[in-house]
Amino acid sequence: MKILQLRFLYGFVFFCQLVGSNVLYAQKKQEIKQSGGLVYSIKVLEDKDGRLTINNISNQKFQPLLTNAPNYGLTNSVYWFKIDMINHTNEQDFLFKIQNATISNSIFYTVNHGLINTQVIKNTTPLKQREFNSQYPLFKVTLLPDSALTCYLRISSNNVMDLPMSLKSDVSILDDINLDQWFFGIYSGIILIMFLYNIFIYLTVKDDQYLYYVFYILVVGLTQACLKGYAVKFLWPNNEWLIRQAPHIITACSGIFSILFTFNFLHVRQYAHKVYIVLNTLIVIYFVSIAVYLSGGYIAGQKILQANTSLVSVVILSCGFYTYKKGYKPALFFNISWSFFLGGVIIYILKDAGVLPVNNFTSNAILIGSGLEATLLSFALADKINIYKKEKERSQEETVRALQENERIIREQNVILETKVNERTLELKAANEELNEALEDLKQAQTQLVESEKMASLGQLTAGIAHEINNPINFVTSNVNPLKRDVGQLLDVITSLEELSVSDLAVADKQKRIDELKEEMDFDYLKVEISHLLNGIHEGASRTAEIVKGLRIFSRVDEDDLKRADINAGLDSTLVIVNNLLNNKIKVTKNYADLPLIECYPGKLNQVFLNLLTNAIHAIKSVFGDNTGGELTISTYFDADNVFVKITDNGTGMDADTQKKIFEPFFTTKEVGEGTGLGMSIAYNTIKKHNGQIFVESAVGEGTTFILELPIVHKIQAT
């Protein structure tokens, strides 16, 4: 039954629009209009080509009108009206009014004794240039008492040709205009109050529905202001572009915002997803109508707008009934408000069709319906808030009950849990003690492993030092005995010279004896040999001092404080330690830059250098053994913030999997017993302690490169 009622309602709406958009002619008799003692009749002629002029219009055949408010809809035709009037009053000043501010062009001709007086009014004519300060076309008619007059009216328009016409005294017409303005003032007040009230609520509750409603009623109010001409009168009286384009654009925006408000208020996407898609399509059509209208297709744009608006009205009202049927109660107010608006539209259309009389109520039916719609929609939002409030209160009550139930359950569970916690506490305490013991054992094992790595390094260090010191010391000791022998010979010569000096021999004989002694012991060779032996001892001692200096640099013990240290010196001291591993078979190339001193722990960095160099030497020996061909390159360089140490070998190299694991504790590529697997892990942690980075580049069979990046100024990291 409801579906049948809806179909009847929609059919009635379309029928009324169809009736209102057709030309109304009198087929049987001419209708005589009376306004007091002023009698006039109106006839109409359609000029489809727009070629007729005032000079040849009198010979044309006019058709009488049944109503003084014809509506010809959207048309490219020009309409001529012939007005015959007789004045039976004592007045002579009258006004002919067309109550439609959107008429594009209207020309009023007064024919009196062969003289033609012309009055032209366009909708783009600024009000200040019109004789009367009214948005409606008003034409002055002077008709003496007891006389007759014939006038012609030429109308063409890009908008709906709705032509409510009246001929009255100038005072009566101006009173009608003031009354019309009074009606619109009431309507504007309602819209303004609803606008301010709901925008205040939106700013208070931050509900988007109020924001959509505010925009909706704003464009609805502007639409009515455009259609009634008050936008031209009060908002943009001198802007021809807005006068011509604004009614269409704002009417389309009214439809768009009505859809957006419907989306939000009725939750269309949730309750009627297919309707949601349809309405989105209709929004696109609104934009199409605007584009067509702005491009110059006025009639086509208006027709698209009219058809789309009719369809939107039907879809929105259907959606309102559908969502209400689905159980969404706020849709009831929505349906009632839209019904009032559509009722106003229907009354207005029936007025244009001549079914209802033309009066203040029927002329302002759309304003009344729109005002009631805006008011009821505001009530609908308020009702929705009340529903939300009740739902919130009900939800809060349910929440309180649930919390009370939870509290009871929690109290009961607390007793059970407390017992279980006490039991578990004892178990956890025992387990914790076991874990502490295991942790302590693990720490001791880790400490022992680290110490093992250090001892391994120390053993290597000791062997290197012993080897390096042994060579120069052997050189010194091997020169001591020959030097003692040569010194003994010198002492013997000195003794002989003492004896010779106290003898009684002549000077010549003494000189001869001395020469014999020098020749006997080969004195010149003895001097050369002693010089060589002393130089050898000096070189051995210097080499020993150099080794001791390198050892002192390497084994820095000031690890608790940061020191400014020379990285190049640390590398050289480490090379001294590993020199015995090179065995004169591996070529070492040093490319040192003139580095700035950096803040670091020098001893720990030397340990890193030692680990990297020994690994490199081991990799080289794995390829070349005791043969030559191995190369070890050490480079240093720096930028504004960091120094870089690059150690490259041409050893075995590493694959990608090995590179990923190289810094993991206990990972080693050496044979069992040759390493603990902690060297690279210690190196990684040491560089990390310096806030630096360590990078590895390697390929199997091509060698390996380690790059250390160390900050020049040690930065304390936040923990």
Measured on CA atoms in the order 250, 254, 255, 256, is the torsion positive or negative? positive
Residue 319 one-letter amino acid: C
E strand or H helix at 392, and its extent?
helix 365-501
**Mean pLDDT calculated for residue range 265-282:** 85
Tens-place pLDDT, residues 478-524 = 666 777 776 777 777 787 777 777 777 777 777 777 777 777 777 77
Residues of the chain with pLDDT > 90, as a percent, come to 12
Is-contact 60 107, C-beta < 8 A? Answer: no
Question: Picking from 92-96, 104-108, 664-668, which range would have the lowest pLDDT averaged per residue?
Answer: 664-668
> What is the length of the chain?
719
Structure tokens at 454: 């250090």
Structure tokens at 442: 């693990």
C-alpha distances in Å from residue 139, one per residue of 123, 151, 215: 14, 11, 38
- Smallest Cα–Cα separation from 585: which of 632, 640, 639? 632
pLDDT bucket at 22, cuts 50 / 70 / 90 = very low
pLDDT tens across 557-591, in order? 445 678 888 999 889 888 887 887 787 888 999 99
Secondary structure of 395-455 as H, E, C letters: HHHHHHHHHHHHHHHHHHHHHHHHHHHHHHHHHHHHHHHHHHHHHHHHHHHHHHHHHHHHH
Residue type at 351 in one-letter notation? K
Mean of the per-residue pLDDT values for the chain? 78
**Do the beta carbons of residue 239 and residue 206 sit within 8 Å?**
no
What does the pLDDT read at residue 152? 94
In this prediction, residues 425-447 reach a mean pLDDT of 76
- pLDDT per residue as tens digits for the range 284-295: 998 998 899 888
Average pLDDT over residues 606-627: 86
CB neighbours (10 Å) of residue 3?
8
pLDDT of 555 higher than 60: no
- CB distance 630 to 585 below 8 Å: yes
* pLDDT one-digit tens code per residue, 320-355: 888 888 877 777 777 787 777 777 767 766 665 556
The predicted pLDDT at position 467 comes to: 62
Average of pLDDT values for 67-81?
86
pLDDT of residue 530: 75
Query: What is the spatial distance between Cα 670 and Cα 652, in angstroms, rounded to a whole number?
Result: 12
pLDDT at 643: 95
d(CA 191, CA 218): 7
CB of 577 closer than 8 Å to CB of 554: yes
Paired sense of beta strands 38-47 and 693-699, if any: unpaired
Q: Are 83 and 40 in contact (CB under 8 A)?
A: yes
Q: CA of 660: how far to CAs of 49, 664, 667, 677, 702, in Å?
A: 89, 8, 11, 14, 18
Q: What is the DSSP letter of 593?
A: -
Name the pLDDT band for 17 (thresholds 50, 70, 90): very low
Residue 474 pLDDT exceeds 70: no
180-390: in CATH 1.20.1070: yes
The Cα–Cα gap between 558 and 604 comes to 10
What is the CATH number that goes with domain 22-171? 2.60.40.2380
> Shortest CA distance to 84 belongs to which of 121, 126, 32, 35?
32
pLDDT above 70 coverage of the chain, percent: 78
Q: How far apart are CA 244 and CA 298, in angstroms?
A: 10
Type and span of the H or E element at 653: none
Lowest mean pLDDT among 297-301, 440-444, 626-630, 631-635: 440-444
Judged by DSSP in three states, 267 sits in coil
Q: Measuring CA to CA, which residue among 274, 394, 393, 387 is closest to residue 334?
A: 387
Confidence of residue 43 (pLDDT cuts 50, 70, 90): very high
Q: Where are the domains of the chain?
A: 22-171, 180-390, 433-552, 558-711
Q: SS3 of 646, please?
A: strand
pLDDT at 676: 59
pTM over 0.75: no
Higher pLDDT, 713 or 216: 713
Alpha helices for 502-590 (secondary structure H)? 507-521, 523-554, 567-577, 579-582
- What is the domain class of 558-711 according to CATH? alpha beta
Distance between CA 611 and CA 135 in Å, rounded? 97
User: Diameter of the chain by CA atoms?
Assistant: 191
DSSP H or E run through 374: helix 365-501
d(CA 58, CA 52) in angstroms, rounded, equals: 10
DSSP state of 128: G
Token digits for 68?
A: 């003084």
Residue in the structure block whose two tokens are 């009632």: 336
Residue 492: both structure tokens together: 């013997």
Q: Hunting for tokens 């150099």 — which residue is that? A: 546
Q: Closest by alpha carbon to 712, among 636, 593, 558, 600?
A: 600
**Exposure string (b/e) for 432-465, b if CB count within 10 Å is 16 or more?**
eeeeeeeeeeeeeeeeebeeebeebbeebbeebb
3-state secondary structure of 143: coil
Q: How far apart are the first and last CA of the chain?
A: 75
- C-alpha radius of gyration, the chain, whole number: 56
For residue 672, the SS3 value is coil
Question: Model confidence at 449, in pLDDT bands (50, 70, 90)?
Answer: low
Q: How many CA atoms lie within 13 A of 625 on its CB side?
A: 1
Structural contact between residues 124 and 157, judged by C-beta atoms closer than 8 angstroms = no
pLDDT digits (tens, 9 = 90+) for 185-210: 888 888 888 788 778 877 877 777 77
Angle at 432 between CA 428 and CA 437, to 5 degrees: 155
- How far apart, in whole angstroms, are the C-alpha atoms of residue 629 and residue 627? 7
- At residue 365 the predicted structure's pLDDT band, cuts being 50, 70 and 90, is low
Report the alpha-carbon distance of residue 498 to residue 504 in Å, rounded: 13
The string of pLDDT tens digits covering residues 407-426 is: 888 888 888 878 887 878 88
Percent of the chain that is helix, strand, coil (3-state, to 5): 60, 15, 25
Residue 635 has what pLDDT?
94
172-211 residues labelled b (16+ CB within 10 A) or e (exposed)? bbbebbeebbebbeebbebbeebbeebbebbeeeebebbb
C-alpha angle 304/310/312, rounded to 5°?
95
Count of other CB atoms within 10 angstroms of residue 566? 15
What are the structure tokens assigned to 349, written together? 């259309």
